[in-house]
Amino acid sequence: MDFGWNENAQARRSSLIEFVRNELNDDVAANEPECKFASRNWQKCAKFGVHGYMVPAEYGGAGLDVQTSVYLMEALGYACRDNGLTFAILSQMLSIQPAIALFGSDTLKEDYLTRLAAGACGAFAISEESSGSDTYSLKTTASRVKGGYRLNGEKKFITLAPVADIAVVFATVDAELGEWGVTGFVIERGQEGFSTTETRPKMGLRTTPIGDIVLDDCFVPESHRLGAEGTGVAIFNKAMESERSYILAGQIGAMERQLEETIKFVRKRRQFGTPIAKFQSVANRVADMKLRLETSRLLLYKVAWLESQGTPLVLEAALANLHLSETFVESSLDAVRNHGARGYLTEYEIERDLRDSIGGLTYSGTSDIQRNIIARMLGL
């Protein structure tokens, strides 16, 4: 496995870190308690080219390979203190973008990849009230009408829904077909019968707007169906493979930032006449944080390397997702422990990582579902 990045990738990383530190970090402390989306920073990132890293050059992106892209996603999470903004950007890059890139017609790609790379907000919606982990038991219907379909149903807990300009939505064209009826559609805000709820407050990632999409006899032209009828499961699985694999890349960056800040703090903070870093319990927590960072990083890079080789990565993606999500929670808790009261009080901005880390146990498949996939791949 070659995890080395060429000079070009390293130069991109350095300029991304510089851009993020100069431009993105001022608003998070004010936005976070209000669950406010930093739309200005979203647009700045799009202008800098972040949204288009994986979009082919013909649609206005940089068309970067997966390993370089993952390297840059990690750098974004490292430099950007707003984990919610990083999550929102990666969510769009890893779900709606690959779904349209791999399964959209030339017209859909031209129209929507170009706009997504340029700063439009895109949501990817499958979850419903009664279909969470049991994804394909969805109830949203798509009934054939002249020229297209009428969609009816409600999508729940959708990242970026409240601000989405575009959404990929899954519905069934025939409930009796079960999984074989599930079909993907691209819908624009403004389409009659499409509406979204307000941002729903949550524990962490509070700057990522999450809400519901309501489809009330929403007309979708046939040209906006993704692939053929009944191919929704294949589309969802492909997009999920990409999201499951790399959505936590930003967290690796956040873990590195967290480790650096914790080391700085425990060296400086003195109790009983000595830096607290000299106490073995404190130092052991730092050692564990470093180990979690390195093991997570290796798993992430391995998945990206496997993809670059065209090798199946179902098992490795689930392993990486499970390990990254759970280690970020553990390391965030260790950071809080090592900072004492300063770790607990909001003003020191340490506790935010802990709250932000919890969502990773659920989105892109819960930890239980990742374990189910791993067990299945091991033949259990």
Rounded to whole angstroms, the Cα distance separating 74 from 249 reads 5
Nearest CA to 13 among 65, 72, 81? 72
Ordered alpha helix ranges (H), the chain: 7-23, 28-31, 39-48, 66-79, 83-94, 96-103, 106-108, 114-118, 232-246, 249-268, 280-308, 314-338, 341-344, 351-358, 367-377
Residue 359 CB, shortest distance to ligand FAD, in Å, is 4
The secondary structure of residue 59, as a DSSP letter, is G
- Do the Cβ atoms of 324 and 296 come closer than 8 Å? yes
326 is catalytic: no
Instruction: Tell me the window of 112-120, 126-134, 327-335, 341-349 that interacts with ligand FAD (CB under 6 A).
Output: 126-134
What span, in angstroms and rounded, lies between the C-alpha atoms of 344 and 96?
36
One-letter amino acid for residue 206 of the chain: R
168 binds ligand FAD, rule: CB under 6 A: no
* Residue 370 CB, nearest approach to ligand FAD (Å): 9
The answer to whether 10 contacts ligand FAD (rule: CB under 6 A) is no
- Measured from each CB, the residue nearest to ligand FAD is 132
Residue with smaller CB distance to ligand FAD, 173 or 369 = 369
Residue 159 engages ligand FAD in binding (rule: CB under 6 A) = yes
Question: Which of residues 210, 255, 300, 336 is near ligand FAD by CB under 6 A?
Answer: 210
Rule CB under 6 A: choose which of 63, 119, 132, 227 binds ligand FAD: 132
At closest approach, how far in Å is the CB of 260 from ligand FAD?
A: 26
Answer for which of 62, 108, 163, 205 binds ligand FAD (CB under 6 A) is: 205
Q: Report in angstroms how near the CB of residue 126 gets to ligand FAD at its nearest.
A: 4
Query: How many residues at the interface with ligand FAD, by CB under 6 A?
Result: 18
Q: Spot the catalytic one: 74, 128, 229, 243.
A: 243
Contacts for 104-110: CB closer than 8 Å, 24+ residues apart: 104/186, 104/226, 105/223, 107/223, 108/186, 108/223, 108/224, 108/226, 109/59, 110/59
Minimum CB distance to ligand FAD, residue 213 (Å): 9
Interface ranges with ligand FAD (CB under 6 A): 124-127, 132-133, 157-159, 205, 210, 359, 362-363, 366, 368-369, 372
